[in-house]
Structure 1
Amino acid sequence: TPPGCRMWTLVWLGIASLCLGAAWAVPAKERRKVEKVKADLALYENLDLENYDLTLDNYGEILDLSNYEELYDYGDLAPKIEVGTLAPRPKDPAALPDLGSTAKTPKLQHPTISSPIHPAPIPAQGEAASAPPGLPSCLLCLCIGTSVYCDDANLEHIPLLPPETTYLYARFNRISSVRASDFRGLEKLKRIDLSSNSISWADVDAFRLLPSLQELILPQNRLTALPDLPPTIVRLDARLNRIPSTGLRPEAFRDLKQLQFLHLSDNQLDYIPAPLPESLRSLHLQ
């Protein structure tokens, strides 16, 4: 073989080897990329997100905090706090300014009281018995509108009532008598309830001169005689007393043209005087 042919043969062999080397290098690089993708997918599939524990050991691997200040730089949006300083307090108290004279504000003064002041006592139920008879009822009882409530107030006398009184309730007390002056001038009084007291007598004119009286309630007392009644009376309840037949005056109910309810049971009655008014609807004697 001539020398020229051998040289061309070597050249072609070199070129062929270079081409084969390049062709072999390209698939190897592609294979490495594919293998890396497969490895990443396998790592992601094996990652248990539900039981994944973020600890300080791998915190830096997951979060990149290198640009934290750049990400969260609010600039002028954050409020600015102005910091000042106070002057030191002088050691000499006399150097302090007099606030009372400077600002012209009144100075506080401690009250000078020689002895403590005690509030005036409010009469309680137990003290009502010792109160004088003429003491106004609204100091001893409860006054609501034209109604006066003196129940269980330990009263021994009927208190002085307001002139506009319409209803009086003075039950469960120790009232022993009813005087003619107790209800004098009370022209609007319609109902008197003196149940469960100790009333043993009443003046003849204690109730008779009341022009508007409609209900007189006197059960559980110690009455031995029935007082005279006004013609406006509608209901009379005098049960559980000690009234005998002689304690009722003759024809005591004849002129009571509006009387509808008469309760005289549990007394000492043998009879009641006739006639009875035609308006009577209910009569209780036993």
Structure 2
Amino acid sequence: MRMLVRLVLGLFVLKAVVAGPRFSRQVDLDSYDNANYDVDLDNLNLETQDLYDYEDGLTIDDPQIEIGTLAPPDYNYPVPETSLEEEVEEEEEEEEEEEELPLTPQLIPQGSGGSGVLMGPDTQKEEGLLPVTPETPQEGTGGVEGSVSSGEPDEPEEPVIDRKGMPTCLLCTCLGGSVYCDDLKLDSVPPLPKDTTHFYARYNRITKINKSDFAFMSKLKRIDLTANEITSIDDRAFLGLPELEELVIRENHISQLPALPESMSLIDGSHNNIGSKGIHKEAFKDMTSLLYLYLTDNHIDYIPVPLPDSLRSLHLQRNNIQMMHEDTFCNLKDFNYIRNALEDIRLDGNPINLSRTPQAYVCLPRIPIGDLI
């Protein structure tokens, strides 16, 4: 009976302990009973067994939380060294310090890709972030632009090219049958491929056209020698070109128009020194395919007749033409003759009064442009 009382008291104590907040649910019940109470489980009555069943139910239904092993909450969170406001203030102070850094001009070498003055803080130069101007430019760097010693940048020297003996298609640009030799400072016509059809050598320094320059060029159709320094052309330089159709020799110093094949369709000899004796007699008579004849700004004192019926445009402005015959363009023997093709005649800038020869225009679709007074 004494043991039963002790057991009941122990159970009350156990129940009180279980209700406490720091009780550990992982106590070994077997060892606890053997160490403190010599309880013979075989002698326990039904009431004691019910108490044990009640305790077991608590352990099964309740969540498995180890109350005794959980550490008490630690509210001592790590405090940052500096607050957010202090960090913002520090960043603003750093930006102010960067703005207050003195800017010093630094010259960039020409070979580095820059051409101006680069501004930057002194600290960057010390760290090697900006290129430092060398005292003496190294060979191959092209020097330093804006050098203090020179005062002015040196102009790059034009490379000297030995054009003699160089293949034409290496010196010029060859595209199909066209050869372009514009603005190459040529002083003579280079040897051309035999299949050349169009030759352009504008803005050069060619002074003379020889007979051999275009010899055996059977496919050549157009020659353009605009803006050279040509003073003379061999009279037969173009006669050996059976397919030649267009010749442009404007803006030179030519005083004599050379003989040309009958296959011509365009002749432009404007802005030269061609005078009254600079055109062969009846030079254009047999050119049955001639469409455009431009002889502006020369010293011609007459209209070079006869002109082929195929002619569409005749430009003779700013010459020295003083008179015109009534049969210059029309046929006085055939009043039914009409020259329908010739629609563009420019005689302005000449000392001629077109109103004095009204019968000279009856066969034309339009009256020439010029002074009528």
Specify which of 176, 187, 212 is matched with residue 218 of structure 2.
187
Q: Which amino acid aligns with 2:292?
A: F
Spell out the pairing of 1:93-172 with structure 2 (5 A cutoff). Answer: 126-128=161-163, 131=164, 137-138=168-169, 140-172=171-203
Displacement, 1:140? 4.0
* Residue number in structure 2 paired with 1:263: 294
CA distance in 1, matches of 2:63, 2:185: 105
**Offset at residue 138 of structure 1 (A):** 3.9
Give me the whole-angstrom Cα distance separating, in 2, the residues matched to 1:17 and 1:197: 135
CA deviation after TM superposition for structure 1 residue 282, in Å: 2.1
Which of the numbers 35, 44, 63 marks the counterpart of 2:62? 35
Secondary structure of the equivalent of 1:247? coil
SS at match of 2:273: coil
- Does residue 254 of the first structure (1) align with residue 285 of the second (2)? yes
Higher helix share: 1
Greater relative contact order, per chain length (Cα 8 Å cut-off, separation 6+): 1
Which residue of the other structure, out of 240, 246, 264, is the alignment partner of 2:271? 240
Q: What is the distance in 1 between the residues matched to 2:276 and 2:310?
A: 22
Which secondary structure does the structure 1 equivalent of 2:61 belong to?
helix
Aligned to 2:247: 216
Whether contact under 8 Å (1:178, 1:206) holds in the other structure is yes
Identity of aligned residues (%): 43
> 1:125: Cα distance to partner?
7.2
Quote how far apart the aligned CAs of 1:139 are. Answer: 5.6
| 1:25 and 2:52 aligned | yes
Q: 2:307 is matched with which residue?
A: 276
1:57-76 residue pairs with structure 2 within 5 A? none
Q: 1:138 to 1:247 in 2, by over 3 A?
A: same
User: Per-residue deviation at 1:234?
Assistant: 0.9
User: 1:125 and 1:210 mapped to 2: Cα distance?
Assistant: 34
TM-score normalised according to structure 2 size = 0.45
Render the CA deviation track for 1:239-286: whole Å, top value 9, x for unaligned: 211112331222221111101112211222233211211111222222
Is contact 2:216-2:240 (8 Å) kept? no
CA distance in 2: counterparts of 1:30 and 1:272, whole angstroms: 135
Consecutive unaligned residues of structure 2, counting only runs of 5 or more, are 1-41, 67-158, 318-373
In structure 1, stretches of 5+ residues that fail to align are: 1-14, 41-123
CA deviation after TM superposition for structure 1 residue 213, in Å: 0.1
Contact 2:235-2:259 within 8 A present in 1 as well: yes
**What number of residue pairs does the alignment pair up?**
184
Q: CA deviation at 1:36?
A: 3.1
Map 1:8-19 to 2 at 5 A.
18-19=45-46
What is the CA–CA distance in structure 2 between the aligned matches of 1:262 and 1:205, rounded to whole Å?
A: 20
CA-CA distance at 1:212 after TM superposition: 0.4
Compared with structure 1, are the counterparts of its residues 35 and 190 closer, same or farther at alpha carbon in structure 2 (3 Å cutoff)?
same
| In the alignment, structure 1 residue 226 sits paired with structure 2 residue 261 | no
Q: CA deviation at 1:126?
A: 4.1
Please, which of 187, 194, 204 is the counterpart of residue 235 of structure 2? 204
Q: Distance in 1 between matches of 2:232 and 2:215?
A: 17
Q: After superposing the two structures, state which structure 1 stretch, 169-178 or 15-24, moved more.
A: 15-24
**How far apart, in 1, do the equivalents of 2:272 and 2:263 lie?**
23
Partner deviation per Cα, 1:150-191 (whole Å, 9 max, x = no partner): 222222222222222222111221111112222121111111
Aligned-partner residue type, residue 252 of structure 1: A
Give CA-to-partner distance per residue, 1:14-61, whole Å, 9 cap, x none. Answer: x99711111222112102322235x48xxxxxxxxxxxxxxxxxxxxx
1:127 partner SS: coil
Give me the CA root mean square deviation. Answer: 2.6
Aligned partners of 1:215 and 1:234 also within 8 Å: yes
The whole-number CA distance in structure 1 between the counterparts of 2:251 and 2:304 is 22
Distance in 1 (CA, whole Å) between partners of 2:230 and 2:274 is 12
SS of the residue 1:36 aligns to = coil
